[in-house]
Amino acid sequence: MEENTEVLYAVDGFIATLTLNAPHRMNTISGAMLDQLSVMLLKADADPNVRCIILTGAGKAFCAGLDMASQMGTSSEKLGVLDNVGANVSEFDIRNAPPIVLHNIDTPVICSLNGGAAGYGLDIAFGADIRVAADTAKLAPGFAKRGILPESGGTWLLPRMVGYAKAAEISFTGRTLSAAESLELGLVNHVVPASELHDFVTSMANEIAANAPLAIRAIKRMMRAAETETFEQNIHHVFLQLLPLFRTKDFKEGVAAFMEKRPANFIGR
């Protein structure tokens, strides 16, 4: 493994784990980390043996946002670096940005919030399908406190997660939310003791991976499509996705396992 690897990639069984790997700076996002995260998300999604992705962070934080010093190539203590922000953003190809990639891949993604998530890091967490937080984790949507807005998908994702009024309150105040508050708002699916987070998330990932992977990917595609389709359009779209699934070995295995009252053994074909 190279020393400059800012996103670790590991596969265990059917589970790929991607770990933001800059604990010395609370996993703030550099340009290299952005590029590596997108590449590894696409790598996992293209691997037929990967049925679920876990996204987490090394150390005490999940991701504390953009690493401004790295992005600007100089010390963040110098106020002059902010003059270069616009130029750097304008050169960035958002088509390959992690939030876009996260939204478009078909493999389920669980974000394991091992610690705080702020700014861009919070939007990446929001882009996952499922979020599980350690009881010590905090969510910090502090864009308005920095004079910017959620440039990484938050203005689209958050209202769909909690409704417009709650999203407005969260975004306009920029108040840091505890894990318990995040659970109450529906921003995370579960909160567990920090010491149990790894085992809890791994168990959930394996539960997902035990199901028919082609069906799971189709379900995720159709849920994503439903965000821009009418009810009738989505029903028609789902029917077109269903027909090829009827011809798979996994469908036959699923029916046989149900009839024989045994666990199914899906092969992804």
3-state secondary structure 17-60: EEEECCHHHCCCECHHHHHHHHHHHHHHHHCCCCCEEEEEECCC
Q: Which residues contact 6 (CB under 8 A, 6 or more apart)?
A: 20, 21, 22, 30, 32, 33, 36
User: Are 183 and 103 contained in the same domain?
Assistant: yes
Instruction: Find the domain containing 186 and state its range.
Output: 7-209
Q: Which two tokens stand for residue 146?
A: 């920095």
Question: Considering the domain boundaries, does residue 267 fall inside one?
Answer: no
User: Are 71 and 204 contained in the same domain?
Assistant: yes
User: Are 113 and 85 contained in the same domain?
Assistant: yes
Between these two residues, 107 and 97, which has the higher pLDDT value? 107
User: Looking at the predicted structure, is the pLDDT value of residue 83 above 50?
Assistant: no
Average confidence (pLDDT) over 146-169: 87
Average confidence (pLDDT) over 98-108: 93
The proportion of the chain whose per-residue pLDDT surpasses 70, expressed as a percent, equals 89
User: Are 67 and 134 contained in the same domain?
Assistant: yes
Cα–Cα distance, 133 to 113 (Å, whole number): 5
pLDDT attached to residue 147: 75
User: Looking at the predicted structure, is the pLDDT value of residue 134 above 80?
Assistant: yes
Q: Where are the beta strands (DSSP E) in the chain?
A: 7-12, 15-20, 52-57, 61-63, 109-113, 116-118, 130-134, 138-140, 177-178, 190-192
pLDDT attached to residue 184: 96
Phi-psi category of residue 59: left, alpha or beta, with phi > 0 → left and psi -120 to 50 → alpha: left
Q: One-letter amino acid identity for 227?
A: E
CATH code of 126's domain: 3.90.226.10
Between these two residues, 83 and 195, which has the higher pLDDT value? 195
Q: What rounded mean pLDDT belongs to the chain?
A: 88
User: Looking at the predicted structure, is the pLDDT value of residue 79 above 80?
Assistant: no
Average confidence (pLDDT) over 191-209: 97
pLDDT attached to residue 223: 94
User: Looking at the predicted structure, is the pLDDT value of residue 45 above 70?
Assistant: yes
Average confidence (pLDDT) over 220-243: 93
- Which of 24-38, 63-77, 148-162, 171-185 is predicted least confidently? 63-77
Average confidence (pLDDT) over 185-200: 97
User: Looking at the predicted structure, is the pLDDT value of residue 155 above 70?
Assistant: yes
User: Looking at the predicted structure, is the pLDDT value of residue 88 above 50?
Assistant: no
User: Are 244 and 132 contained in the same domain?
Assistant: no
pLDDT attached to residue 68: 64
- Whether 170 contacts 141, CB under 8 Å: yes
Of the residues 176, 193, 209, the one at which a domain ends: 209
Q: Which two tokens stand for residue 16?
A: 């790929």
Question: Considering the domain boundaries, does residue 72 fall inside one?
Answer: yes
* Confidence label for 260 from pLDDT (cuts 50, 70 and 90): very high
Q: Which two tokens stand for residue 2?
A: 């190279």
User: Are 186 and 218 contained in the same domain?
Assistant: no
pLDDT attached to residue 89: 45
- Whether 103 contacts 156, CB under 8 Å: no
Question: Considering the domain boundaries, does residue 38 fall inside one?
Answer: yes
pLDDT attached to residue 71: 52
Cα–Cα distance, 250 to 216 (Å, whole number): 12
Question: Considering the domain boundaries, does residue 93 fall inside one?
Answer: yes
Number of H helices, E strands in the chain: 12, 10
User: Are 67 and 186 contained in the same domain?
Assistant: yes
pLDDT attached to residue 90: 43
Question: Considering the domain boundaries, does residue 264 fall inside one?
Answer: no
Question: Considering the domain boundaries, does residue 269 fall inside one?
Answer: no
3 state DSSP class of 8:
strand
Question: Considering the domain boundaries, does residue 128 fall inside one?
Answer: yes
Domain count, the chain: 2
Of the residues 188, 209, 230, the one at which a domain ends: 209
pLDDT attached to residue 232: 93
Cα–Cα distance, 122 to 125 (Å, whole number): 5
User: Are 124 and 202 contained in the same domain?
Assistant: yes
User: Are 44 and 70 contained in the same domain?
Assistant: yes
User: Looking at the predicted structure, is the pLDDT value of residue 40 above 50?
Assistant: yes
